[in-house]
Chains A and B, each alone.
Chain A
C-alpha cells in the first residue's frame, strides 16, 4: 500500500469514527433510556464496552502480526503489530478508567477481582511489557523480535490466565455485588447505542492504526533516503 493511500484511508476512517463518537454521545446523553437499577451511571457502558472490545482486537492483531513477523520478517508486519499495540494500550487505559468509575457506583466498589477485570488488567500489563522491551532493547532489530515474542507468549498464556482466574473465585463465595452480570437483557435502544459505540470505536482504532502505520512507513522511507544520499563533500 502506498503512503498516500494509507493516509487517505486513515483520514476517511478517522472522520467516520469521530462522527460516530459525536452521534454516540448524543445518543448516550439525550436518547437512550436510563437503566432501571443502576440509573444514570450505566451510560458509561457505551464507552466502556466498545473500548474493551477494541483492546481485545488490538491485542489479537499485535499477537498475530508479531507471530507473522517472526516467521516472514516483513517489516510491515512489525509496523502493524506496534501500531495496534499502541492503540490497545490507549483503549485499554480508557477501559480501565471507565470501568472502576462505573463500578464505584454500580457495585459500591471501584475494583473487584472478577475474572474479566483481572484478565484485562493483566493483558494491559503485557502491552506495557511489549513497549518496555521495544524501547529498552540495545539493538533495534532484536527489540522488534523480542517484543513480538512477548506479544505471542502473552497471547498463548492469557487464555490460561483466564482459566485460572475463572477457577479462582469458585474457591470463595461470590461477592453479592458481582451479580450485576446477570442483569436484564438489553432493550432495543440500548443495543442500538452500544452497536454504534462499537462501530465508532473500531473505526477510530483503525484510523489511528493506519496513521501510526503510515508514520512508520514514512520513517522507513526517510531512513532509506538519508542512506542513499551521497556524502557531503
Chain B
C-alpha cells in the first residue's frame, strides 16, 4: 500500500513539477478564466440583471470551461515525447497512473478556482457568503467528480485524431449532476442560506464523485492498454 502511494505521489510530483517549470497549462487555464470574466462583463447587461444572482452559475461555467481546457492536455505532453510508453511500462499499476493524474488535475483546477473566485470578486464584487469551509467542501467534492470524469475521457480523446475537440461532447452530458448540485449548493452558500439546505446537494455530489472515481479507476486500464 505504501509503495502504491509512493508511486502515485511520484507521478503527481513529476506532473506538478513540470507544470511549475513550464507553467503551460496553468497559464492557459488561468488566462481563460480571467478572460471569461471580462467577456461576461460585456456579455451581460448589468442594468437588467444583477450579477450576484448569476454568481454560482457563472463561476461553475468558468470552472468547467477553464478546467476542460487544461485537462484536455493531461496526456498530451507525454504522448508528444513518447514518454507515455515509459509511464505505462513502469511498475506503477495503471489505476495508480489514473489516480495520480486525477490528483494533479485536481490541484490545477483548484488553482483556477482560486483565480476565478478572486477575479469575480475583483470585477463584480461577488459576495461569497459566510461559510468558507462549506464552500471549500462543495467546490472540492464537485471538482473531484469533474476531474475524475474528465481525466478518463482526456485519456480517450488523446488517442483519437479529433483530440481535444472531442472532449466536451464526451464529458458535458455526464457532468450535468456536477453542474446542478454544484451550482445550487454554491448558490445557496453565496446567499448565506442555512447549512441543511446545502447538505443534500453535497451528499449527492459526493455520490457522483465516488461513482465517477471508482468507475474511472477500474475502466482506465482498458483505455490505455496496448
Which residue of A139, A145, A146, A165 contacts B180 across the interface (Cβ within 8 Å)? A165
> Contact string, B165-204, partner A, CB cutoff 8 A, digits 1/0?
0100110111011001100100000000000000000001
**Contact yes or no, B219 A152, CB < 8 A:** yes
Residue on B with the closest CB to A129? B170
B159, A142: Cβ atoms closer than 8 Å:
yes
Contact residues in A for B153 (Cβ distance below 8 Å): 150
B77 to chain A, nearest CB (A): 17
B204 and A163 form a contact (CB under 8 A)? yes
Residues of A contacting B170 in the complex (Cβ-Cβ under 8 angstroms):
129, 132-133, 150
Q: Which of B156, B172, B223 has the most CB of A within 10 A?
A: B156
Interface size of A by Cβ–Cβ distance < 8 Å?
35
A127 to B, closest residue via Cβ: B173
In Å, the complex CA distance between A229 and B143 comes to: 55
| Residue pair A137, B176 in contact (C-beta under 8 Å) | no
On whether the beta carbons of B173 and A126 are closer than 8 Å, the reply is: yes
- B173 touching A145, Cβ below 8 Å: no
Interface string of A88-131 (1 = CB under 8 A from B): 00000000000000000000000000000010001101101100
Cα separation A229 to B162 with both chains bound (whole Å): 35
Task: Give the shortest distance, in Å, between B128 (CB) and chain A (any CB).
Answer: 20
CA A118 – CA B179 in complex, angstroms?
Answer: 14
Q: In the assembled complex, which residues on chain B have CB atoms less than 8 Å from the CB atom of A133?
A: 156, 160, 166, 170
**How many interface contacts (CB-CB < 8 Å) are there between A and B?**
101
Question: Contacts A136-B160, A142-B159, A150-B170 known; A163 to B223 CB distance under 8 Å?
Answer: no
For the complex, would chain B's binding face be called helix, strand, loop or mixed by DSSP majority?
Answer: helix
Choose among B152, B180, B225 the residue that contacts A153 (Cβ–Cβ < 8 A).
B152
Q: Is the CB of B174 within 8 A of A171?
A: no
Assess whether A146 is in contact with B177, with CB atoms less than 8 Å apart: no
Task: Tell me if A29 is interfacial: C-beta within 8 Å of chain B.
Answer: no
Q: Which residues of B contact A163 (CB under 8 A)?
A: 177, 204
Please tell me if the beta carbons of B156 and A161 are within 8 angstroms of each other in the complex: no
In the complex, A146 Cα to B220 Cα: how many Å?
9
Which residue on A lies nearest to B207, using beta carbons?
A160
Contacts of B173 in A (CB 8 A): 122-123, 125-126, 129, 154, 161
Known contacts A157-B211, A165-B176: A149-B152 contact under CB 8 Å: yes
**Any chain B CB within 8 A of the CB of A195?**
no
Bound: A133/B165 CA distance, A: 11
- Give the residues from 40 to 73 in chain B that come closer than 8 angstroms, CB to CB, to chain A: none
- Report chain B residues within 8 Å CB of A150: 153, 156, 170
Bound-state CA distance A229–B169 (Å) is 42
For B149, B173, B204, B207, the residue with the greatest tally of chain A CB atoms inside 10 Å of its CB is B173
Given A125-B169, A145-B223, A149-B223, A161:B159 Cβ within 8 A: no
Q: Across the interface, which residues of A come within 8 angstroms of B211, CB to CB?
A: 156-157, 160
Interchain nearest-CB distance for A37 vs B (Å)? 32
A70 at the interface (CB under 8 A from B): yes
**Chain A's nearest CB lies how many Å from the CB of B52?**
18
Q: Which of A129-185 contact B (CB under 8 A)?
A: 129, 132-133, 136-139, 142-143, 145-146, 148-150, 152-154, 156-158, 160-161, 163-165, 167-168, 171
Q: State whether the Cβ of B208 lies closer than 8 Å to any Cβ in chain A.
A: yes
B170 to chain A, nearest CB (A): 4
Q: Which residues of chain A come closer than 8 Å to B223, judged between CB atoms? A: 142, 145-146, 149
Pairs across A and B, CB under 8 Å, 28 listed: A70-B219, A122-B173, A129-B166, A133-B160, A133-B166, A133-B170, A136-B166, A138-B161, A139-B159, A143-B160, A145-B222, A146-B160, A146-B223, A148-B222, A149-B223, A150-B156, A153-B174, A153-B215, A153-B216, A154-B173, A156-B211, A157-B177, A157-B215, A161-B177, A163-B204, A164-B180, A168-B184, A171-B184
